[in-house]
Structure formats: C-alpha cells, structure tokens
C-alpha cells in the first residue's frame, strides 16, 4: 500500500455522516465533517418518531450529535461545501469553502433575542414552511452548533444595506457583518460521502393539488405537525379551518415507482413511514380514521411486518390496495379521492385530510458534488456503486454511505456509514492508541473536609433576566461547607473558566457547584475544566437554573429565584458527599474472533485483517461460503466469482487463521479480554481475543406446505436457482412455471418478511425468461417487495409478460397433483385472481416455492455464551434498532449478515464491514477506560441472592458462587443503578449517584421547606 494519512473528510452531517465521523474519530483519526447547512443532524431531527419502535427521533439522535460535537478528533465545518478533490487515495487535497456566518460562534450564547427582533420573516425550511423564521436563525432548538447564523440572501443589511437590528440587540456582541467566506484546503487520505437525499416535491403533480388544496400535505409536513416540538406543538390541525381532522388518507408512492417521471425505483422507507404516521396520528386523535392507499406494502425490514400487523389489528388502520388517480377539494375543505381498485372498479372516498407519502430522490446538489469530486452517478442520479462493492464510488479512495447511493432508512444508513469507514481505513494510518495521560496531576483530597466553591452564571440575560443571580450567589455563601461563592457573566467562556480555576487555587476548593444551563450540554466541559485545575473531574455538580428554571418560569422571577436557591442547595448537599472516582483501564487484546465464514464472516474478517489485526475465523462446516454457495445469479453479477474471490482472500491472508469443521465450545470474558474454546472432532483449543463478530447466518425454511416433497416438480427457489444454473430441470418440456411467494414468511409462526425472496423470484424468473422466452411464468404474491433499485427488474419482468397474481393469506393458492401416483407429476395451481375477479387454474410444469429464511437453532446457545439477546424470531437482537444496528448492549460483541435478519448480498457485505468498523473502534485502542460512575458491592452485606444478576441489562454483575457475593464487572457496568434499587440488602451502591449523595440532596430542602410553610 502506498500513501496513508491520518486525516479523513466526511461530506454531509446527517446520521450517516455523524456515525462515520464517530467511528473514524474513535479509531484515533482526525475527521473533518463538512456540512452545507448550519447544523449537523440531517433529516432525523425533522422526524417526530421512528419506526418500528416509535422512539422519539430527536431524543435518540441528540446524544450522537453532542458526542460528535465534543469529540476532540472531529472538526465540524458548517455552511461549507467541497469544491474540488485532487490527488490520489491516501494523499488527497480537498478544497472547500466555509461560508460566512456573520455571527461569532465563540461569543453567541444562543439566547435567540436576535431572531425575535429580526424584522425579516421567511418560511422556515426545517418546519416545512409551517412556521416563520428570521433572517438570523438556527435550524432547530437543539441544533449543533447551537449558535445562530445569518442567511445572507434574506438579511436586510446584507441585501439592502439597512437594519442591523440584531447587532444592537445582541447582548454578547456576537454579530459580525464583516465575516467573509474562507477557502480551506485539507490534506486527507480518504473521503466518505454522506450527503443524503431530498424528499420528492409533489408540486408538479397537479392532480393531487398539493399547495393548491390546503388540507393536502406531504409526509414530512405531517411529521412536523405531529412533533411535540413542531410548529403546532403536536396538535394536528387542518390548514383550511384549523379543525382537527376526523379522517386522514395516506397516498403511497408519490414520486416513487413512477416511470413517467424517471423514478423507476422504490423509495424503500415510505411504507413504514406512512404506517408510523397513521399509528401516531391515531394516538394523537381519538376516533381518527386513517387509511393507506398503496400498491404493495413494503415492510421488508427487521420487525417491520409485526408493526404492519399491529397497525391493521390493534390500531385499525385501513389498508386499501388501490391507486389514487385524482384528488378534488370539496366545499367544506374535505377531499374527494378518485381511486381505482385492483379489479378496475373506480371508487370515490372522502377524507378530511390527505398526506402524500413522498418518495426520496437525489439531492439537488448531487450533480455539482459529483462533478467537484469526479465521481459517477447512476441512471437515477444517485451516487453509483456496485452490488459487490456497495460502498465504493467510481473513484478509488472515495466511499459512499447513507441514502446517497440509494434510498435507505435510518439503520441501514448507520450500517453503511460504519461500513464505509472500514473501506476507507485502507488509505488511513491506524496506530493503536494509548489512554491519554492526564495533563495535570490530581490533588489527593481524601480525608480533607469539603471546601465547596459555588458559581452562578448569568448567561447574559438568559438567567439573570429572570433569576436574581447575585441573590442566589449570596445565599450559597451561607450553605454548609461553602468556602466561596460568586456570580459570573458566562461561566462557560474561557475567561470565566480561568477565574474558576484561579478560585480553586486561591481558596483551596475541593468541590465545585455551578448553577447554569444544563449538565447535558455543559457537564463535560466543566469537568474538563475542573480536572485542569487538578481536581478529580467527578468532584463537580451542576444546578440547572436556566433550561429548567429561568426559561421555564419567565413570568415568576421571585419564585424562579427561590427555586434556583433550592437547586443550588441540593447541588451543594450532593457535592458535599462527592468522592473522587477513578476510571479503570481495561486492556484490549487486538485479535478478533469471527464466528461463521459465510459471506458476512469472510468480509468482516478481511476488513479486520486489512486494518492489521489478527483474526480467528471459525466455520462449523467443512467448506467456506455459507448460503452464498447456493446463489448463482445477482442480475448483472456472478456471485460464484465473488465467493471464489472471498475464499481466496481469506485463505491466503496471513493474518486470518481459518478453523473449518470447528465448533465454539465456550466463550468467557468481556470486551478486550475474551477467552474462547474451540472444538473439532479431534481436539480442543483456546483462543484469546478482544472482540467477537457473530456472522452465523440463517437457513432455508423446510416447508410442508403446497405438497412440497410429493413431486419432483415442486421445488424451492434455492433448488430452482441451482437448476437454472446447471440446466437439470425435472422435465425437458417446460411450458409453465408458477412461483409462490411468502411460503412460511409473514404468517403466525414467522411474522416477518424474509426480504430477499421477492427479488430472488424476480431475478430467477428474469434469468429463465431470458434463456427461454417462450416459457409462461406466473408469480403468486402477497406484496411484491422489490425495494430500492430492485424495482426496475420487477418492471422489466412485468414487461416481459410474467403474470403477477396477488393473493391474501385467507385465499392461498391451492395445489393438486395431476397424477397423485406419479412422483414426477405436473401440478395444478388454483388461485383467485383479483384483477379478473375470478378463480383461475394453471397446469404447471414446475412449482417454485419461495420458502422463508429461518434463524439458526444454534443462535440460542451462542447467545447464552456471549450474553446477548435474540428476538422473538430467534435472530440476534442489536443494541438499538435504529442507531446501533451491529452492536449489542454488551460491549465488544457485534453482529452481521443473516444472523441479524434476512438480507441481500450487498447488505450483508455492508453490514459485515460495519461490524468490522465498530470492532476497530475497540481494537485500535491499547486500552479503554471504564466508566467512573459504576456500581460497587459491599461484600459484608451481600447475600449472593443473584437478584441483581437477573436485573442487569448489560450482564455486568455476577454472583461468585463460591464466595456467595455479587461481583461487578467494571468493564461492562454502564452505571444505570437498576441493581442498586433492586438489592434487598442495600449491599449495592452507585458511585456518583450513591444513596448517601442522593439522600443528602433530598434532605437539603427540609429546613427551607419548613420555613416556607
């Protein structure tokens, strides 16, 4: 390998860009995160909830955003765009422009006075125009950076030379009209593109009347309406009369699956998006009727079908398989939908409101970006990538993730982001990082009496405008153990922090309480300051008197001041009990164990070895390749070539140790320090390694349905593919071929979609049709789920004359043998065809069953060994369905491929790379630090009952059966304290939130309470 660099550029700071940046930064690389808008976060902050868990989108994203902002290895460039990338992989020169913000981010305190007084009011893009914003604004309340910026195209001063009101009202003097665009040149080894997608704008679809009829909105508009922090505070109202709608229709595929506008692809996410909105809307409005008009419901992801079923059953969402051709507005503002049912019947339906499920399309700027970076786009304008290199662009050293190279939902965006990192590290220099030494030696305060310093922040007028901060600072002086108290203008400003450090020195303070904004944003910063003053960072406490006081009680200054005093009092009381905490180092063994050598396992092993780590690749079969061995077609690519290449790569790589026909007997240990026993027929051996990747795959469901096994003419799709490949059909005279989809999938015992079968059927039927154009093919389906770019193959197959017959679960196709006594009998298929509105019968020469994908039984045993959970279907369950798709709650264990959920070749590879990348964030460190705020056991009180062991979600506590006491694994404990609350003997306690500390805070107000009442 040639040149390598320690720097890398990530373009686009949506969830994919954020994830890629975090992974790279955790590997010790310097990341430049380049974002065109004024904040990181991308699309996710606009969403109210996320499917299929109905998590609040902003709540799950915010910690990642702030982690990104705080990470010392990440430099965020907002309002910046890349203009050119020259040079070679490993040694690129990237040029970009950082546009003028006209607000000094160091001085701005994000109080919002400027926007309030700004005379310009324009449609707010974040709230989809449902609210106005000023020319000076920020995208949303939790934007990062939080500072305001000026929109130079809207600002009166910058366009017409008058106004400058913001400059006058800004209490911090942060406005700077002299600000200029800056050109920046960066040396980077690789580039990761994550610039995302746009929502389709239905303004051109006159027949739907968007913007013409006020009660027709897009799914994104609706999302903002549902959002509690949105313009309507979560109350859905019709624009025409501000009445709450009683019925809502969702129209699917607006701008997707539409050849007339060149969008011959499926946007993949909108079906679930609409189901989610229909459910949430029903939760918001009692008695609401919501109906979804669809072509196919594509709930193909993990646990999506269960969500779909819940929408139908528990929530009573009405699903109507029908195409809406026109919407008309009625006099009362209601909308009349003209729609065509499957059998061609035209019907009309009236609704109070209509939501258009708009599709995803390439960003407006993607053509320019592609030109600047010299990369190619595909036929639809998305970034081009290859099925077998799903994260690579056409230019070496530049990688792509998120929805930029195809419509994707959030977890897949996160997966591809981590995956792209594993590809990019090829051109980046990875050195195993040491734990950073403490710059300033820590004072030993054990045994000293508490000497508390309290500081009250004005935050300009944000706090001081409501709370009498001087009074609070004065009050604190009389609290026990307080040695010093004062008020500060901006506690977080550099000069004020210097003042605090000076006071620590002058007064010999050993505990600090700051009453200011909120610990959620500022605790890390203040902790760092405290440790720079030579104190243990845990000797710090914050009182939240801005977000939870001055801003929430703006009209009651006296009571707000009282509350601030109480919060200060409680903070001081807790601080008095604080103790220095140590973060113990956990050494990380740099070797990795990958279980399963199918496509995912081999890809993961290769990625880890490429990054310089030794890998133990264990396969229980005698041969490598797993399910890939049975796949012969992937449209324009040859999977067998991929298989051969992968086998060659893992076999010849000296860093990969192959163990074939080998079983996992036992796995002990925890992140960084696993010990695994392998077993072959002959012997046993133990391995030591730092992480584990589970890539055990899945297997084809063995069906008993549709007379499978009773005639050689009834076969599965997998068997059919092999026949296609070697030409060994059970009959020479193939005239009719019938395929039945969802055999075993999406039914009671297996309420999930096996995801790949629709594409597989389409692929195999296409191959058959191309080889033998005269064969008649029929596909009986429930919903055709050819998501993303797979859609074009579906339309191609339709155009070639394949008959698609839709069936419902209660009207499954009926199968009889033409000759019951003949083991090679032809097969009669009888099915109700909703298009012809009658039963049809086909005598077929081959009946091909798309059987489900089953979880492996061994998962149960492996899950127990690694202490990681399975879902109801027996697939491994990741730490978080949206944002941690390859991790487990247990650190150091990752999952990839079919073991996680059914998926296609490109998706398995992307996920395998993602698992490798997540693993590298550990392996690339010599040691990691355990948390300081973790649980401890008082041995003399513990009875070893084991209740805590059952409670702990992280498997961080275990009873030592010999000593009969619980032992906390400090490497695994996340400090939630659930075990502490569960302990019947009060033997457990949580450092940093101990009973003593919390009781002290509860008690602090006793006196004040008595006096006040």
Partner 1 sequence: MKEWQPKILAILCNWCSYAGADLAGVSRMQYPPNVRVIRIPCSGRVDPLFIMKSLQSGFDGILVSG
When the beta carbons of 1 and 1010 are compared against partner 1, the nearer one is 1010
**In the numeric block, which tokens belong to residue 77?**
């460039």
DSSP labels for 324-361? EEEEEE-TTS-EEEEEEETTS-EEEEEESEEEEEE-EE
In the bound state with partner 1, the residue whose beta carbon lies nearer, of 518 and 871, is 518
**How far from 1007 is each of 470, 479, 1013, CA to CA, in Å?**
22, 12, 10
What is the x/- site pattern for partner 1, positions 958-977, by CB under 8 A?
Answer: -----------------xxx
Does position 62 bind partner 1 by CB under 8 A? Answer: yes
**Distance between CA atoms of residues 152 and 166, nearest Å:** 13
684-723 residues in contact with partner 1 (CB under 8 A) are: none
Total residues interacting with partner 1, rule: CB under 8 A: 50
Among the residue ranges 361-369, 414-422, 554-562, 618-626, the one whose residues contact partner 1 (CB under 8 A): 554-562
What is the rounded radius of gyration, in angstroms, for the C-alpha atoms of the chain? Answer: 31
Tokens of 1007: 């006196």
- DSSP assignments along 204-232, one per residue: G-GGGTBTTBTTEEEHHHHHHHH-TTSTT
Q: How far is the CB of 231 from partner 1 (least distance, A)?
A: 11
Q: Does 59 sit near partner 1 (CB under 8 A)?
A: yes
* C-beta of residue 274 within 8 angstroms of C-beta of residue 250: yes
Q: Considering only 264-272, 292-300, 565-573, 858-866, which stretch makes contact with partner 1 by CB under 8 A?
A: 565-573
CB 527 within 8 A of CB 559: no
924 contacts 690 by C-beta, under 8 angstroms: no
DSSP of 639-662: HHHHHHHHHHHHHH-TTEEEE-S-
CB of 234 to partner 1, least distance (A): 11
Binding mask 914-953 for partner 1 (x = CB under 8 A): -------------------x-----------------x--
Q: Which of residues 566-595 bind partner 1 (CB under 8 A)?
A: 566-567, 570
CB 268, CB 408: distance < 8 Å? yes
**Binding window for partner 1 (CB under 8 A); candidates: 247-255, 348-356, 552-560, 894-902:** 552-560
Site track for partner 1 across 525-544, x = CB under 8 A: -------------------x
CA distance 528 to 510: 15
Binding status of residue 464 toward partner 1 by CB under 8 A: no
Under rule CB under 8 A, residue 520 binds partner 1: yes
Q: Which is nearer to partner 1, 346 or 552 (CB)?
A: 552
Helices 905-923, 599-610: crossing angle, 10 deg rounding = 40
Neighbouring C-alpha atoms within 13 Å toward the C-beta of 563: 20
Q: Applying CB under 8 A, does 461 fall inside the site for partner 1?
A: no
Provide the minimum distance between the beta carbon of 518 and partner 1 in the complex, in angstroms, as a whole number.
5
Q: What mask, x for binding partner 1 by CB under 8 A, covers residues 790 to 819?
A: ------------------------------
- Smallest distance from the beta carbon of 975 to partner 1, in angstroms? 6
- Does position 547 interact with partner 1 (CB under 8 A)? The reply is yes
* CB-CB contact of 263 with 382 (8 Å): no
Smallest separation, CB 567 to partner 1 (Å): 6
Q: How far is the CB of 976 from partner 1 (least distance, A)?
A: 4
According to the binding rule CB under 8 A, does residue 985 interact with partner 1?
Answer: no
Cβ distance to partner 1 smaller for residue 498 or 1009: 1009
Least gap, CB of 17 to partner 1 (angstroms): 23
Output the six-digit token pair for 443. 């004072």
- Cβ neighbors of 97 (< 8 A, separation 6 or more) are 80, 81, 83, 181, 182, 183, 184
CB-nearer residue toward partner 1: 562 or 878: 562
Q: Which of 630, 673, 712, 995 binds partner 1 (CB under 8 A)?
A: 995
B/e letters for 217-247, b = 16+ CB within 10 Å, e = fewer, are bbbbbbbbbbbeebbbeeebebeeeeeebeb
Among 508, 519, 524, 534, binds partner 1 (CB under 8 A): 519
The crossing angle, in degrees rounded to 10, of helices 519-532 and 57-70 is: 20
- Distance (Å, whole) CA 169 – CA 118: 10
| CA dihedral of 678, 683, 688, 690, whole degrees rounded to 10 | -20
Smallest separation, CB 1002 to partner 1 (Å): 5
Q: In the stretch 201-240, what mask flags binding to partner 1 with x, by CB under 8 A?
A: ----------------------------x-----------
Q: Is the dihedral of CA 11, 13, 17, 23 positive or negative?
A: positive
Site for partner 1 in 114-143 (CB under 8 A): 141-142
Provide, rounded to whole angstroms, the least separation between the CB of residue 737 and partner 1.
Answer: 54
Q: Can you tell me the distance from the alpha carbon of 850 to that of 753, in angstroms, rounded to the nearest whole number?
A: 11
Are residues 355 and 322 in contact, defined by beta-carbon separation less than 8 angstroms? no
Q: Which of 232, 551, 633, 708 binds partner 1 (CB under 8 A)?
A: 551
CA torsion 659-660-665-667 (nearest 10°) is: 40
- 3-state SS class at 64: helix
Segment holding 66, helix H or strand E: helix 57-70
Closer residue to partner 1 in complex, CB, 178/1006: 1006
The residue (of 497 and 973) whose beta carbon lies closer to partner 1 is: 973
* 177 vs 993 by CB, closer to partner 1: 993
Cβ proximity of 959 and 966 under 8 Å: yes
Residue from 158, 430, 584, 1005 touching partner 1 (CB under 8 A): that is 1005
Question: CB of 60: closest distance to partner 1 in angstroms?
Answer: 9
For 335, the token pair is: 């909308």
Residue 64 or 408: the one with the smaller Cβ distance to partner 1 is 64
Span from 312-320, 324-332, 903-911, 996-1004 in contact with partner 1 (CB under 8 A): 996-1004
- Of residues 93 and 1009, the one with the C-beta less far from partner 1: 1009
Part of the chain binding partner 1 (CB under 8 A), chosen from 90-98, 654-662, 806-814, 1002-1010: 1002-1010
User: Considering beta carbons, is residue 537 or 626 the nearer one to partner 1?
Assistant: 537
Report the nearest approach of partner 1 to the CB of residue 143 (Å).
11
For residues 961 and 1011, which CB has a smaller minimum distance to partner 1 in the complex? Answer: 1011
Asked if residue 769 lies in contact with residue 793, where contact means CB atoms within 8 angstroms, the answer is no
Query: What gap in Å lies between CA 631 and CA 644, rounded to an integer?
Result: 12
Instruction: Name which of 424 and 568 has its Cβ closer to partner 1.
Output: 568
Min. distance of Cβ 657 from partner 1 in angstroms?
40
Nearer to partner 1, 753 or 966 (CB): 966
CA distance 728 to 11: 50
User: Which residues have C-beta within 8 Å of that of residue 151, sequence separation ≥ 6?
Assistant: 122, 135, 136, 137
Considering the rule CB under 8 A, would residue 866 count as an interface residue with partner 1? no
Which positions from 162 to 191 touch partner 1 by CB under 8 A, shown as an x/- string? ------------------------------
Q: Which of 597, 646, 589 is nearest to 614 (CA)?
A: 589
The DSSP result for 922-971, as a single string, is HHTBSEEEPPSS-EEE-TTT-----HHHHH-TT--EEEETTTTEEEE-TT
Minimum CB distance to partner 1 smaller for 453 or for 977 = 977
Q: Is the backbone of residue 671 left (phi > 0), alpha (psi -120 to 50) or beta?
A: beta
Give residues in contact with partner 1 (CB under 8 A): 59, 62-63, 141-142, 229, 518-520, 544, 546-556, 559-560, 562-563, 566-567, 570, 933, 951, 975-978, 980-981, 990, 993, 995, 998-999, 1001-1003, 1005-1006, 1009-1010, 1012-1013
């Amino acid at each position: 390998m040639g040149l390598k660099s320690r720097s890398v550029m990530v373009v686009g700071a949506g969830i994919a860009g954020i994830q890629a940046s975090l992974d790279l930064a955790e590997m010790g690389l310097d990341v430049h995160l380049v974002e065109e808008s004024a904040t990181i976060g991308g699309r996710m902050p606009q969403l109210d909830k996320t499917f299929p868990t109905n998590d609040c989108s902003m709540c799950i994203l915010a910690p990642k955003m702030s982690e990104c902002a705080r990470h010392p290895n990440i430099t965020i460039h907002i309002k910046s765009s890349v203009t050119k990338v020259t040079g070679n992989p490993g040694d690129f020169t990237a040029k970009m422009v950082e546009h003028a913000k006209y607000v000094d981010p160091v001085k701005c305190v994000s109080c919002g006075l400027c926007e309030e007084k700004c005379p310009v009011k324009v449609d707010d893009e974040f709230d989809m125009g449902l609210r106005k914003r000023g020319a000076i604004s920020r995208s949303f309340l939790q934007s990062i950076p939080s500072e305001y910026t000026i929109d130079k195209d809207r600002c009166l001063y910058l366009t017409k030379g008058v106004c400058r009101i913001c400059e006058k009202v800004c209490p911090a003097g942060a406005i700077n009209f002299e600000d200029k665009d800056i050109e920046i040149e960066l040396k980077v080894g690789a580039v990761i593109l994550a610039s995302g997608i746009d929502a389709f704008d239905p303004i051109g679809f006159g027949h739907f009347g968007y913007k013409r009829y006020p009660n027709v909105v897009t799914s994104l508009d609706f999302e903002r309406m549902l959002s509690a922090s949105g313009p309507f505070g979560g109350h859905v109202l019709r624009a025409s009369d501000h009445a709450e709608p009683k019925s809502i229709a969702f129209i699917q595929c607006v701008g997707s699956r539409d050849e007339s506008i060149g969008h011959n692809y499926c946007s993949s996410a909108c079906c679930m998006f609409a189901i989610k909105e229909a459910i949430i809307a029903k939760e918001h409005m009692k008695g609401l009727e919501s109906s979804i008009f669809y072509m196919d419901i594509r709930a193909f992801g993990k646990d999506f079908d269960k969500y779909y079923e819940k929408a139908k059953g528990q929530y009573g969402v009405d699903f109507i398989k029908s195409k809406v051709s026109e919407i008309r507005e009625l006099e009362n503002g209601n909308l009349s939908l003209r729609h065509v049912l499957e059998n061609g019947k035209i019907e009309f339906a009236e609704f109070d409101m209509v939501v258009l499920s708009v599709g995803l399309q390439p960003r407006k700027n993607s053509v320019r970006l592609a030109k600047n970076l010299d990369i190619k786009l595909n036929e639809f304008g998305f970034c081009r990538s290859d099925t077998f290199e799903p994260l690579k662009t056409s230019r070496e050293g530049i990688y792509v993730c998120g929805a930029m190279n195809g419509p994707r939902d959030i977890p897949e965006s996160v997966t591809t982001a981590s995956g792209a990192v594993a590809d990019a590290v090829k051109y980046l220099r990875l050195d195993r990082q040491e734990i950073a030494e403490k710059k300033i030696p820590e004072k030993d305060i054990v045994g000293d009496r508490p000497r508390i310093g309290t500081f009250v922040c004005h935050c300009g007028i944000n706090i001081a405008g409501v709370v009498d901060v001087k009074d609070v600072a004065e009050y604190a002086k009389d609290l026990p153990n307080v040695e010093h108290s004062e008020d500060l203008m901006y506690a977080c400003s550099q000069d004020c922090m210097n003042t605090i450090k000076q006071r620590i020195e002058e007064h010999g303070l050993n505990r600090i309480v700051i009453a200011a904004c909120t610990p959620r944003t500022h605790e890390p910063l203040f902790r760092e300051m405290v440790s720079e003053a030579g104190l243990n960072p845990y000797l710090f406490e914050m009182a939240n008197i801005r977000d939870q006081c001055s801003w929430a009680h703006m009209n009651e200054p006296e009571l707000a001041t009282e509350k601030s005093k109480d919060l200060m009092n409680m903070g001081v009381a807790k601080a008095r009990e604080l103790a220095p905490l140590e973060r113990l180092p956990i050494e990380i063994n740099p070797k990795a164990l990958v279980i399963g050598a199918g496509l995912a396992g081999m890809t993961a092993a290769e990625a880890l070895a490429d990054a310089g780590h030794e890998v133990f690749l264990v396969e229980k079969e005698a041969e490598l390749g797993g399910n890939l061995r049975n796949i012969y077609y992937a449209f324009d690519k040859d999977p067998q070539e991929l298989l051969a290449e992968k086998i060659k790569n893992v076999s010849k790589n000296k860093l990969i140790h192959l163990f074939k026909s080998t079983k996992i007997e036992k796995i002990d240990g925890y992140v960084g320090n696993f010990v695994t026993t392998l077993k072959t027929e002959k012997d046993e051996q133990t391995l030591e390694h730092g992480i584990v990747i589970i890539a055990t795959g899945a297997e084809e469901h063995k069906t008993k349905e549709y007379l499978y096994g009773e005639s050689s003419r009834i076969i599965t799709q997998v068997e059919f593919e092999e026949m296609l490949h070697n030409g060994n059909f059970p009959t020479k005279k193939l005239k009719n071929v019938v395929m039945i989809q969802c055999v075993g999938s999406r039914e009671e015992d297996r309420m999930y979609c096996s995801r790949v079968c629709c594409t597989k059927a389409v692929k195999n039927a296409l191959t058959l049709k191309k080889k033998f154009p005269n064969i008649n093919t029929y596909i009986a389906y429930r919903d055709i789920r050819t998501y993303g770019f797979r859609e074009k193959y579906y339309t191609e197959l339709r155009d070639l004359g394949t008959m698609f017959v839709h069936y419902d679960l209660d009207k499954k196709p009926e199968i009889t043998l033409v000759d019951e006594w003949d083991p090679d009998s032809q097969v009669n298929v009888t099915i109700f065809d909703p298009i012809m509105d009658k039963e049809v019968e086909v005598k077929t020469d081959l009946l091909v069953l798309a059987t489900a994908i089953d979880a492996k039984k061994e998962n149960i045993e492996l899950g127990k060994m690694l202490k990681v959970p399975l879902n109801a279907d027996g697939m491994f369950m990741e730490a978080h369905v949206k944002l941690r798709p390859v991790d487990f709650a247990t650190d150091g264990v990752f999952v990839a491929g079919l073991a996680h959920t059914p998926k296609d070749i490109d998706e398995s590879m992307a996920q395998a790379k993602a698992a490798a990348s997540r693993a590298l964030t550990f392996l690339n460190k010599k040691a990691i630090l355990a948390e300081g705020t973790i649980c401890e056991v008082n041995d003399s009180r513990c009875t070893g009952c084991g209740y805590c062991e059952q409670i702990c979600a992280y498997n961080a506590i275990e009873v030592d059966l010999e000593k009969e006491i619980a032992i906390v694994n400090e490497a695994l404990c996340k400090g939630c304290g659930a075990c502490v609350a569960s302990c019947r003997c009060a033997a457990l306690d949580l450092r940093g939130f101990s009973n003593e500390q919390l009781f002290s805070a509860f008690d602090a107000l006793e006196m004040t309470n008595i006096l006040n009442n």
